[in-house]
Amino acid sequence: CKVIKIGGALIEDGELQNRLCRKFASMSSPFVIVHGGGTFAGQLSERLGIPRKMIDGRRVTDRETLEVTVMVYSGWINKTLVARLQALGVNACGLSGCDLNLVQADRREGRDIDWGYVGDVRQVNMGALELLLQAGVIPVVAPITHDGKGVLLNSNADGIAAAVAETLGRCYDVELIYCFDKKGVLADVGNEDSVISCLTPSLYEEYKGNGVIHSGMIPKLDNAFKSVHNGVRVVRLIHPDDLDQPNAGTRIILEK
């Protein structure tokens, strides 16, 4: 089966999202979708007059921000996506990590910084995923998790996708696909023709070192390499228009 993460930029582009949903509707094997958040939560916070709290350039999820994040991610974004899929005949079911105890996380402990309600994934409920997939349901997972003690947490969608793929990978042949706004990992970010078709750990270190790979791509690739290490058979980064192309984009491979 496939675990497909769809990035924030795709969530914001309605036309791209429609094309993506049509690709999902044409897929024959079972799959799980994990989606990111985009900028809508930030925009809504602004409309509500909730100040953005940043430390060292990173967003802190305080109580009020968590409220908005849960409403936007597991509400508006998740349900819009599910409605679009249902309209195309895909029997999608939207879930956050607390539903069916799908994803539990540990609240992140900062040494000097309190990140607020941010969670690092601890475990994924394999039984819940199997139940849904065997019933022909396509799970659509929002990046909201819980700590198992009643507290919701905001978790990174790339990390959730990796954990879901690794959990399913213990029993099934799994392909983890990160769909985002570029054709793959690029050797020149301004040039879509410069897709790196196979990325090894040493190439990754080199491109990170010279700044070719930067920002959001670094945590994404850290998750991608970890998943290959942990037994996920195929991990690829692609543009959604190439979802039906088996060899498109960048494949993550370990050194021989």
Interface ranges with ligand ADP (CB under 6 A) = 7-9, 36, 180-182, 185-186, 189, 212-217, 220
Whichever of 130 and 188 has its CB closer to ligand ADP, that residue is: 188
**At its nearest, how many Å lie between ligand ADP and the CB of residue 35?**
9
Whichever of 98 and 161 has its CB closer to ligand ADP, that residue is: 161
**At its nearest, how many Å lie between ligand ADP and the CB of residue 186?**
4
Instruction: Determine the Cα–Cα distance for residues 176 and 232; give it in Å rounded to an integer.
Output: 7
CB-based closest residue to ligand ADP: 216
Whichever of 148 and 201 has its CB closer to ligand ADP, that residue is: 201
Instruction: Determine the Cα–Cα distance for residues 248 and 124; give it in Å rounded to an integer.
Output: 28
Whichever of 132 and 160 has its CB closer to ligand ADP, that residue is: 160
- CB-based burial of residue 22 (10 Å sphere; 0-12 exposed, 13-18 middle, 19+ buried)? middle
**At its nearest, how many Å lie between ligand ADP and the CB of residue 56?**
17
User: Which structure tokens are listed for 23?
Assistant: 């690709």
Whichever of 8 and 169 has its CB closer to ligand ADP, that residue is: 8
Cβ-count burial 120-133 (b if 16+ within 10 Å, e if not): ebeebbeebbeebb
Instruction: Determine the Cα–Cα distance for residues 181 and 106; give it in Å rounded to an integer.
Output: 30
Q: Which residues, 6 or more positions from 240, have their beta carbon under 8 angstroms from its beta carbon?
A: 6, 10, 16, 19, 20, 23, 179
**At its nearest, how many Å lie between ligand ADP and the CB of residue 188?**
8
Q: Hey, is 184 helix, strand or coil?
A: coil
**CA-wise closest residue to 22 among 87, 76, 70:** 87
What separation, in Å, do the N-terminal and C-terminal C-alpha atoms of the chain show? 25
Whichever of 160 and 217 has its CB closer to ligand ADP, that residue is: 217
**At its nearest, how many Å lie between ligand ADP and the CB of residue 206?**
12
**At its nearest, how many Å lie between ligand ADP and the CB of residue 89?**
26
